[in-house]
Structure 1
Amino acid sequence: MRKILQGADAVSNVVKSFDNLVDAWRLCETTKAIETSKRTQITAARDVQVKMIEENAAVLKLYLGGVFAERRHVIDGMFARLDRGLDSGNMELASEAINAIINVTQSSPLAGARELIADIRNPSVKHIEI
């Protein structure tokens, strides 16, 4: 009788061990599914952020290219006026040209870029004109 009881305890222990093994496997599979889902979400969020950075960089490049081209045009025109003023002896024209050059060079295109970036990040801004 004792051997039967011992045999039943051994079977019970084997069943409990098997149940523990199945529970551990289920927990492992659940954890694996959760972590795979998290990894997918992280990858998707990364892809969105990379795309936003690329698009913002393209907008910023377009903006700075336009601003610097415009500044070059304005400064070239002011130097042409300065040359005309100096060549003709018109010191008023030369002085106005110098003041205009100073005014243009005192403003920073990067300040405008900072505002552009702030507008890009602001969800309430619906339209940005460059």
Structure 2
Amino acid sequence: MQIEKSLKFNKTFSEHTIVEEAKELLCQFLNANLYDIHDMLFSYHYAKRERVYDIIIEKSDIIYSEGKGYFTVKYMIGFFNACADLNFNDKEKMKITYNIDFVKDEIVLKGEYIPEEEQHEI
């Protein structure tokens, strides 16, 4: 399974923007779109009924080169079931690659590839 999400880039910066400024603007753009990134992350944890919260994207975790690269998103996952007396919280991180199409004014985010588990035999 690999989740992909396309977002309107809103001409956040151009292909001619210097790298450090581009990273700063990209960080601001990603943090302004945390709802969409949350949806991506949640898709990976939905089957296990885990919740995703406290998403953090920092400029230092962004690699940018000519409109593409990757960033590491840090977040927490949690699972709570009162009937079974379960309360679980843990730190997670995921590498998300991106490609910016300056002509179409969009950015495509791709999460990590995680092989799907086959159904267990009984």
Instruction: Give the TM-score taking structure 1 as reference length.
Output: 0.21
Q: Which has the higher helix share?
A: 1
Relative contact order higher in (CA < 8 Å, ≥ 6 apart): 2
Structure whose residues are more often strand by fraction: 2
Kindly name which structure, 1 or 2, has the bigger radius of gyration based on alpha carbons: 1
**TM-score (normalised: structure 2):** 0.22
